[in-house]
Amino acid sequence: MDFLTVSNVHHTYFSKEAATEALQDINLSIRKGEFVSFIGPSGCGKTTLLSIIAGLFEPTLGTVKIEGQDVFGNEELSIGYMLQQDYLFPWKTIEENITLGLKLVKKEKENPSIASKLLKDVGLPPVEKKYPRELSGGMRQRVALARTLAVDPKILLLDEPFSALDYQSKLKLEDLVSEMLKEYNKTAILVTHDIGEAIAMSDRIFLFSPRPGRLYRTFEVPDELRVLTPFEARGHSIYSSLFQLIWKELESLE
């Protein structure tokens, strides 16, 4: 059975000037443990769709279900959401930042040492007592990943989490995220502008067309690439041909 199903989702933003249709008739489903990417030109509604899947707001029409449960207004469902920037709380220590989610869903007492374990998992030295400003951008995004994983979310939603990083940090973090998701067998959705990143990390790629956002095409990433780490995948010959294919499709949309 499908883990996540998006059925007949339409979404329209209303403002004084106009009603803008952001999403039109989106239908898709994702299996458990699958990593998919949403790509498309600006204004294709991919971030809107991600927010709807996160249950941050309700779509104008349609439903999103995870394991048969509605995501909107569901207090039980835990969802991990990573943003373009780390948005660590500057007045909290790294430890407090990581355990923030646990504190809010009141599970903190069960796992007192979870912060140090997660820091190790995301490849950071023990910096629990430091403040975010003392860390570099790449390290902070790792902490944000740890914060997201701390609540053991059912699904991870990644909203261009690597786009604000320098290239080297980005490549390293891609490998880390990919490895950790496999290890924890998490389902994930990545929104990105970067075709290469989408190919290197995903099992499937959904291409959206803009104004209004519609699902335009789905690409299956071949098994040869899926077994590789994102970094290795970037060096594979199939990678370039798939890149060309998606590039042309994307070009034709603009």
Partner 1 sequence: MNNNKLHQQFIQSLVREKRWVRFYQLIILIAFFSIWEIASSNRWIDPLIFSSPSKVYSLFIKNISDGTLFTHISYTLFETVLGFIIGTLLGTILAAILWWSPFLSKVLDPYLVILNAMPKVALGPILIVAIGPGLGSIITMGAIISVIISTIVIYTSFKNVDANYLKVLQTFNATRLQMFKEAILPASFPTIISTLKVNVGLSWVGVIVGEFLVSSKGLGYLIIYGFQVFNFNLVLMSLLIIAVFATIMYQLVELLEKKLIKNE
The interface region with partner 1, picked from 16-24, 89-97, 111-119, 225-233 by CB under 8 A, is 89-97
Among residues 79, 252, 84, the alpha carbon closest in space to that of 156 is found at 79
Contact 7, 50 (CB under 8 A): no
The interface region with partner 1, picked from 76-84, 112-120, 214-222, 224-232 by CB under 8 A, is 76-84
User: What values do phi and psi take at 154, rounded to 5?
Assistant: -70, -35
Which one among 13, 89, 184, 247 touches partner 1, defined by CB under 8 A?
Answer: 89
What distance in Å separates the CA atoms of residue 125 and residue 238, rounded to the nearest whole number?
36
Cβ proximity to partner 1: between 118 and 195 the closer is: 118
Per DSSP, the three-state class of 190 is strand
Cβ proximity to partner 1: between 13 and 89 the closer is: 89
What distance in Å separates the CA atoms of residue 31 and residue 51, rounded to the nearest whole number?
19
Which one among 3, 60, 123, 131 touches partner 1, defined by CB under 8 A?
Answer: 131
Cβ proximity to partner 1: between 105 and 245 the closer is: 105
Per DSSP, the three-state class of 239 is helix
Rounded to the nearest whole angstrom, what is the least distance from the CB of residue 192 to partner 1 in the complex?
18
Binding residues for partner 1, rule CB under 8 A, total 21
Q: Which residues of 90-126 are buried (b: 16+ CB within 10 A; e: fewer)?
A: eeebbbbbbbbbbeeeebeeeeeebbbebbebbbbee
Strand arrangement of the beta sheet that strand 61-66 belongs to: 19-30, 4-14, 61-66, 69-70
Rounded to the nearest whole angstrom, what is the least distance from the CB of residue 58 to partner 1 in the complex?
13
| Site for partner 1 contains 90 (CB under 8 A) | yes
Which one among 3, 72, 87, 216 touches partner 1, defined by CB under 8 A?
Answer: 87
| Site for partner 1 contains 85 (CB under 8 A) | yes
The interface region with partner 1, picked from 97-105, 116-124, 205-213, 236-244 by CB under 8 A, is 97-105
The residues binding partner 1 (CB under 8 A) are 54, 56, 75, 78-81, 83, 85, 87, 89-91, 100-101, 104-105, 131-133, 151
